[in-house]
Amino acid sequence: MIISTGKTEFDTSIRKALEEIEPNYESLYGIVITGSHAPTDVELKLELIRMARERNIPLLGICMGMQLMAIEYVRSFLVDANSTEVNPITKNPVIIKMNDLRVGMLDANWRGNITKESFWHHYKFNTSYENLFGMEWSMDYDDRILTCMTLQEHPFFVGTQFHPEYQSSKDTPHALLVNFINSCKHIVA
C-alpha cells in the first residue's frame, strides 16, 4: 500500500487507523493520498491518482488528497486545471481558497448519508466543475462545499474533505476506512 502524505502528522494518524482495522494493511494493494499544511510533491501525487483511476486501483483521498483527486479528474478534460493554492493564477481553478478556515465537527454528505465528521481546511472545490460526467459529487447542503467524491464504475475511488482517521478507533473503525481496506483485499497486484 502506498500512503502519500508529505510526512506530516497525517501520516501517523492514517497509519494508526488502518492498522487498527487490518494489522497487515501495508501488504494490500491500494493508495491513500492525505493532506498536508502545504502542498508537496503535487505532480507525483497527481500521477499516482491518475494511475489509480486508469488501472482500477483502490484510492482514498483525504482532505488535500480529495482536492488533488478533483484536480486530476478535471485535468482529464482540461489539462491546465489546478488549485489556487498550488498555482494562484491558474486559468481553471478546480480548488479555490475560502474566506474562512472550516474546522470542527461538521455535517458531511456522502451519497445522501449525513454524518458528523472532523474537518480542517481552507480550500474548497469550485462547484462550476461539478457537472463533469462520471463523478459523483456529494455537497453539504448549506454552503455547497464538496465533502465527498466517488468515481462511478471504479472499484474504490473515493475522496473526502473530512478526516475519517480522526473518527476511527479499534473498537469503532470508520466505515469509510473499513470499505477501503475491504476493497484493497479484493485486488491482486
Model confidence pLDDT, tens digit, residues 137-150: 888 766 788 899 99
pLDDT band at 112 (very low <50, low <70, confident <90, very high): confident
In this structure, the number of other CB atoms found within 10 A of the CB of residue 170 comes to 10
Q: Which of 85, 165, 174, 184 is catalytic?
A: 165
User: Does the annotation count 63 as an active-site position?
Assistant: yes
Nearest Cα neighbor of 156 from 189, 186, 118 is 186
Tell me, yes or no, if 163 is annotated catalytic.
yes
Indicate the pTM of the whole model.
0.92
Return d(Cα 39, Cα 151) in angstroms, integer: 23
Among this protein's residues, is 26 annotated catalytic? no
Total number of domains in the chain: 1
Task: Provide the Cα torsion 68, 73, 79, 80; round to 10°.
Answer: -40
174 vs 189: CA distance, rounded Å = 25
Q: What is the pLDDT of residue 189?
A: 61
* Mean pLDDT to the nearest integer, 45-65: 95
Q: Which of 22, 63, 117, 148 is catalytic?
A: 63
Residue 6 confidence (pLDDT) above 60: no
* Rg, the chain, Cα only: 15
* 60-97 per-position pLDDT tens digit: 999 999 999 999 999 998 889 999 999 999 999 999 99
Domain span at 178: 2-185
- Would you state the pLDDT for residue 136? 87
Any idea what the CATH number is for the domain that residue 134 is in?
3.40.50.880
**Active-site choice (121, 154, 163, 174):** 163
What is the pLDDT, as a whole number, of residue 134?
78
